[in-house]
Amino acid sequence: MGKPNQIIPKAPLNPIPVIGGPFVELVIDVVGPLPKTKSGLPIILTIMDRASRFPEAFPMRRITSKVVFDKLIEFFSRYGLPCTVQIDCGTNFTSKVFKDLFQNSPGRTNFLEHDVDVGNASPVKQSPYRLNPVKRDKVDKEIKYMLEHDLIQPSVSPWSSR
């Protein structure tokens, strides 16, 4: 999420290659904040099927894991689950998804990788957002927890901001 009135440089749009059959792989993204609609919803959750390029968009008031999860459940209950995460889609759909796909503690996956092509751009260096002491303590505690559990590692990249 950017700062108000921040000028965001244009990024190249690359076509998404078609793979597999319909609803085997999905592209999911959260877009916003955008100018508010009449109903005051500035965020959009977008879901696109990579094979058919079928799009779906869900307006949202805020980005929280519960709201995103509810929208994903709404989508999957309407169109079915992608084959890569197919589980028994019985009558107790929500609890089966929670039980089979989500754990109580955070972890890492080797299921996918993410790479951002920055082209010839030079690194952007900026200071972290200032936080009041209470929030700063909470952030420091979370960072310490993630470091201790090998969920993150210190960055030595010229793109790092701390």
Q: How far apart, in whole angstroms, are the C-alpha atoms of residue 91 and residue 71?
A: 18
* Lookup result for tokens 């082209």: 119
Residue-level pLDDT at 141 = 93
pLDDT at 137 over 90: yes
How many other CB atoms sit within 10 Å of the CB of residue 23?
19
Burial annotation 39-58 (CB, 10 A radius, 16+ → b, else e)? eebbbbbebbbbeeeeebeb
pLDDT at 147 over 80: yes
Mean pLDDT of 135-146: 91
| Alpha-carbon torsion angle 66, 72, 77, 83, nearest 10 | -130
pLDDT level of residue 88 (50, 70, 90 thresholds): very low
Q: How far apart, in whole angstroms, are the C-alpha atoms of residue 131 and residue 118?
A: 29
Of 106-110, 121-125, 134-138, 153-157, the range with the lowest mean pLDDT is 106-110
Burial annotation 97-110 (CB, 10 A radius, 16+ → b, else e)? beeeeeeeeeeeee
Residue 24 — φ and ψ, nearest 5°? -90, -40
| pLDDT single digits (tens) 45-71 | 998 887 788 899 999 988 888 888 888
- The single-letter code of the amino acid at 44 is I
Higher pLDDT, 83 or 144: 144
Which structural domains are found in the chain, ordered by start? 26-101 (3.30.420.10)
Are 139 and 152 in contact by the 8 Å Cβ rule? The answer is no
pTM of the entire predicted model = 0.42
Write out the E strands in 13-150.
Answer: 26-31, 43-49, 55-60
Residue-level pLDDT at 58 = 92
CB-facing half-sphere around the CA of 141: CA atoms within 13 A: 6
The mean pLDDT value of the chain amounts to 76
